[in-house]
A and B are shown apart, each in its own frame.
Chain A
């Protein structure tokens, strides 16, 4: 397993350039690439969310805005350019800062949240070799970095000098910190079985045995604990209480507008994709084709499905399916209350995740 950084270093070492310049290249190229991935992801996901919600609510969704000469209207290309129009609108909007707000912190908050999402991307593998840097502590790094964002949320809520923002921030802090525990415990189970924190090794283990979701009943439960907990971690319905629009107007984002708000939005959708990719890599076999779901004798000439290019495709298919399920939840379920959310975390998920950890170790001893 090689990473993009290694590949670039190898490639550029043939050219005689200064080492510090080389370092800048190696940092900049994946950085710009990741930023593009995040932007494109947000645009596609917003379009997808709008169309899915429209489908579920008997509406048409965006239908008018076209793209590159494809006119809108009731054709197949209906509204394909809507998110680009939205992005331009957001960038052109006035950046409103309340008079009594803590201006420096308010400016800082979106960037902290963005950095949290951005740094997590470094360890996210999109395919066997398509990872910016191949950490040997990949899972640990992802868990650590995805909790950086909560600092930004608290900053945003506090600096806005708005009671709704403060409520949203406090709810978000409590919720995200609590739900990190079941997420960590269910990922720990995988680490325990495979004996490695490296995402590449985990997928290799699944290739040798079977996908984690079907490995044992306990890993099956762990997948659901993980998936429901990341809904809370990414503030998606039914756990969207930090930004509950019918209660807290817009939660911690109430006072934000324009570009800063766009950054929040970008990070939110980036986080959705991150948790979906982690779920698909850790539990659903990552870049392995569905043929490897159970370790049954597949003829070798069928294994072309697991190539490096198709691997990228499988990761994305699995992740997009999980994102679709998240959107499905959002447009179907009501929202939980704060205390019910905490009850679910501390009294249901954490005991179950701990018991899971215990039983899976016994399972591994026996089988």
Chain B
């Protein structure tokens, strides 16, 4: 039985406000139990589980190949990242050496996916503070990435593209040129977003100095991804613990610097995502230039039946540090799959950083954390 809020923490002038699960800006089916005194929020309790689909339990009854589509559905805004993270874990378990071309294509789709996911994040954040137009602009540009992915895999949202040991298909003809064309179009668009939203006085008023997450708090709560980097921690798995072939590329890790207020405020969390898109473009240009030829299916095992053992692999997704723990008993189905969800840890910090602010600020902070409920509830 779920414990109802402790009555003793509700003061005489305070009331309990239920935000969600059906609410325009809880980014899915999240429910927030908020104790408020007028507009001032004193306590927030996120209630999750409305989108629980037993991902981890399902994995114990499915073969390794059959799990791949399920991983896509975890983080539906960055499905490529989930498939990539899972594949890396299985490959570590199987100990396969991948062809160079596979790694390049994986990096290309992962970075395109990162741009797509951050576009949603910054657009929806604009929506949370009341600006509607940035959202349609970012969706317009995300549409182009989805078109590229559609050519690649046939799907627009859940791609099922990156498989353990390789890829579902090789790149379609002309994909590289189309991606370069997209990048040429996309880079000036970032300036346009900055003109419309980032530098807006009202936007800065609403987000700077709001929901400040100090470095210590972020680390204590296990926050990862752009939200952690906005607090001034230079921690990106692509740099600190490089997987795939990220060590071959030259890119920076943007870190929040408190340009408009304090380090780790909502504006920093927003702006780090904007900067990260620029870095992704940089990686994409390098990868597209030097993509080698080869067969993407050559390393793919006919049957995935790892030896007895266990593995934990980490992956830097658009939301943060995705971890896959897989234990094998030597059968074709895993004994246990555990996924570390970055958005889950990021959400847990909500009460710490937004208590004491106003209802509008809770929405702002929630938007700046960029959660995806599919991944939190799994």
Question: Which residues of the other chain, B, contact A340 by a CB distance below 8 angstroms?
Answer: 205-206
Interface presence of B132 (CB below 8 A):
yes
Q: B136 and A57: CB pair below 8 A?
A: yes
Question: Which residues of the other chain, A, contact B203 by a CB distance below 8 angstroms?
Answer: 334
Question: Which residues of the other chain, B, contact A247 by a CB distance below 8 angstroms?
Answer: 25, 359-360, 363
Interface secondary structure of B, over-half rule: helix
Digitize A54-78: 1 where CB-to-B-CB distance is under 8 Å, 0 elsewhere: 0011110000000000000000000
Question: Which residues of the other chain, B, contact A246 by a CB distance below 8 angstroms?
Answer: 24-25, 127-130, 363
Size range of the interface on A?
20 to 34
Q: CA A339 – CA B210 in complex, angstroms?
A: 13
Interface presence of A295 (CB below 8 A):
no
Interface presence of B15 (CB below 8 A):
yes
Q: CA A53 – CA B137 in complex, angstroms?
A: 12
Nearest-CB residue, chain A, relative to B357: A337
Question: Which residues of the other chain, A, contact B311 by a CB distance below 8 angstroms?
Answer: none
Q: B130 and A237: CB pair below 8 A?
A: yes
Q: A238 and B130: CB pair below 8 A?
A: yes
Digitize B179-206: 1 where CB-to-A-CB distance is under 8 Å, 0 elsewhere: 0000000000000000011001011011
Q: CA A360 – CA B322 in complex, angstroms?
A: 64
Most buried by B among A57, A241, A246, A336: A246
Contacts A337-B360, A338-B358; A163 near B17 (Cβ below 8 A) = yes
Interface presence of A177 (CB below 8 A):
no
Q: CA A225 – CA B136 in complex, angstroms?
A: 31
Question: Which residues of the other chain, A, contact B363 by a CB distance below 8 angstroms?
Answer: 246-247
Chain B nearest CB from A137 CB (Å) reads 37
Q: A58 and B136: CB pair below 8 A?
A: yes
Q: A334 and B358: CB pair below 8 A?
A: no
Chain B nearest CB from A328 CB (Å) reads 11
List which B79-104 residues lie within 8 A (CB) of chain A: none
Q: A337 and B206: CB pair below 8 A?
A: yes
Q: A332 and B196: CB pair below 8 A?
A: yes
Q: CA A336 – CA B200 in complex, angstroms?
A: 12
Q: CA A336 – CA B133 in complex, angstroms?
A: 16
Q: CA A245 – CA B25 in complex, angstroms?
A: 9
Q: CA A334 – CA B363 in complex, angstroms?
A: 13
Question: Which residues of the other chain, A, contact B131 by a CB distance below 8 angstroms?
Answer: 332-335
Interface presence of B75 (CB below 8 A):
no
List which B15-65 residues lie within 8 A (CB) of chain A: 15, 17-18, 23-25, 39
Q: B360 and A58: CB pair below 8 A?
A: no
Interface presence of A268 (CB below 8 A):
no
Question: Which residues of the other chain, B, contact A245 by a CB distance below 8 angstroms?
Answer: 24
Interface presence of B338 (CB below 8 A):
no
Question: Pick the contact of B202 from A244, A335, A338, A339 — CB < 8 Å?
Answer: A335
Q: CA A170 – CA B17 in complex, angstroms?
A: 15
Since A333-B130, A337-B358, A339-B358 are in contact, a sample of 17 more A-B pairs with Cβ atoms closer than 8 Å, ordered by chain A residue number, is: A53-B132, A56-B133, A57-B133, A57-B137, A58-B140, A238-B130, A246-B127, A246-B128, A247-B360, A332-B133, A334-B202, A335-B129, A335-B202, A335-B360, A337-B205, A337-B206, A339-B39
- A interface residues with partner B (beta carbon < 8 Å): 53, 56-59, 163, 167, 237-238, 240-241, 244-247, 249, 331-340
* Closest 6 pairs (CB-CB, A-B): A335-B130, A57-B136, A334-B131, A246-B25, A334-B129, A334-B130
